[in-house]
Structure 1
């Protein structure tokens, strides 16, 4: 119900750009451009890089307007932003280099976080990315098959090693998803990468279930020398 109301409100009421605040547009042309496209996709690595992290590709650097857009979609329910964010993700997925069918597997958020936000932001972006890829002739499918098998602590304030320990063993593939995961290469999807812990644990879960992780795609990656975005911590 909350998601339905948010979508109707976005259609009826004037909105400001989620990135820069320009009036009467949900996302202005400049901020849409900052989300990047095929030409801006780059390989990103955290520092330190956790063992088992698949190759990660991002379309933007996390900060300022990009940060505002990501948070507006995830935390403030600006559901219309899923499409441009999905388009950005699609460009990153294509740089992973998979030929033929591909499964896009979102990194899951905790049920309590999804309930608090009123929507599953990463799953919504993943579906938008899959639609964009199919429009480009790439047989892509969104496969939200990962589940949290135990509660985890808030990641805010944890070191890279602490985040990895906090998430270790926390994700697993849904029962019966092995055949789906083994049918095509998997690209993990998230809105951003910080320490790489979430993507590393997700890759392990897919591999245990019989899938092959070809890489990962995120909207935004690190911009500072330590390999971590500024001003954001993943809250499960």
Structure 2
């Protein structure tokens, strides 16, 4: 069920004029060109990513720059909730790339379990929504409509407070995230239902993804890979 804050944002998105979140074209929440950029993005494997953690293959659709960066920030920080659908379409492309790389054996092992990286509670409260979970739900719906069994499994949670990642170098980011995540009760049983794809909106050093993979592996999850909408260069201020 939508909270009052989310409901109001959904309504405002429908009735208030807006400029394109990507390029600023007037009176278009997302213009045709920017939507095509997200929908037509070809996923590619990114890395190697710096740091001491163990990462599975990571696939991203776009560089974190220009229109893609603007759309992600509009969705995450300004609550432009209707952007979850096109961002979910891009994320679905990265998830498909993970599945293709794993081959048909994983396809027969159960539905793809999309595990979103959790946002801190204070961030969710400040934003009024959980952007990664919302994009993951849109991606799972897109995958199912395309004939790929997929569902979102939000089994990760913040285990301790972390500092803002912006401004930290690669070593600082990895140290900041080490041991920061935990799993909800019963996660191990749920994770046994299919191959796991860790999902996030963007990746910089891979510290967050590595911490998620560590926790999921401890719970017995079969992590097939990680999928993100965009990849950022370290030092850009991305989380």
- TM-score range for the pair, normalised by the shorter chain length: over 0.9
Answer whether contact 1:102 1:139 (CA < 8 A) is retained: yes
Cα contact 1:186–1:215 (8 A) shared by 2: yes
Q: Deviations over 1:196-224 (max 9, x none)?
A: 000000000110111011001100113xx
1:103 pairs with 94, 100, 113, which one?
Answer: 113
Q: Is the contact between residue 46 and residue 196 of structure 1 (CA under 8 Å) also seen in structure 2?
A: no
User: Contact 2:10–2:81 at 8 Å: present in 1 too?
Assistant: yes
Q: Which runs of 4+ in 1 moved over 6 A?
A: none
1:45 corresponds to which residue?
Answer: 47
- Cα distance change, pair 195–219 in 1 and its aligned pair in 2 (3 A): same
2:16 counterpart of 1:8? no
> Which of 215, 225, 237 is the matching residue for 1:232?
237
Give the structure-1-normalised TM-score. Answer: 0.93
Q: Tell me whether 1:21 sits opposite 2:24 in the alignment.
A: yes
Matched with 1:71 is: 73
In 2, are the aligned partners of 1:63 and 1:230 still within 8 Å (CA)?
no
Q: Distance in 2 between matches of 1:68 and 1:92?
A: 19
Q: Does 1:206 align with 2:216?
A: yes
1:90 correspondence with 2:59: no
CA RMSD of aligned residues (A): 1.4
The TM-score normalised by the length of structure 2 is: 0.91
Residue 155 of structure 1 is matched in structure 2 by 165
Extract unaligned runs of 5+ from structure 2. 100-105
Partner of residue 130 from structure 1, selected from 140, 146, 149: 140
Q: Aligned pair count?
A: 228
Offset, 1:131: 0.4
Using the TM superposition, give the Cα deviation of residue 160 of structure 1 relative to its aligned residue in structure 2, in angstroms. Answer: 1.1
Residue 49 of structure 1 and its aligned partner are, at CA, apart by 4.8
CA deviations over 1:14-52 (Å, ceiling 9, x no partner): 111000011111111111122253x62111115425431
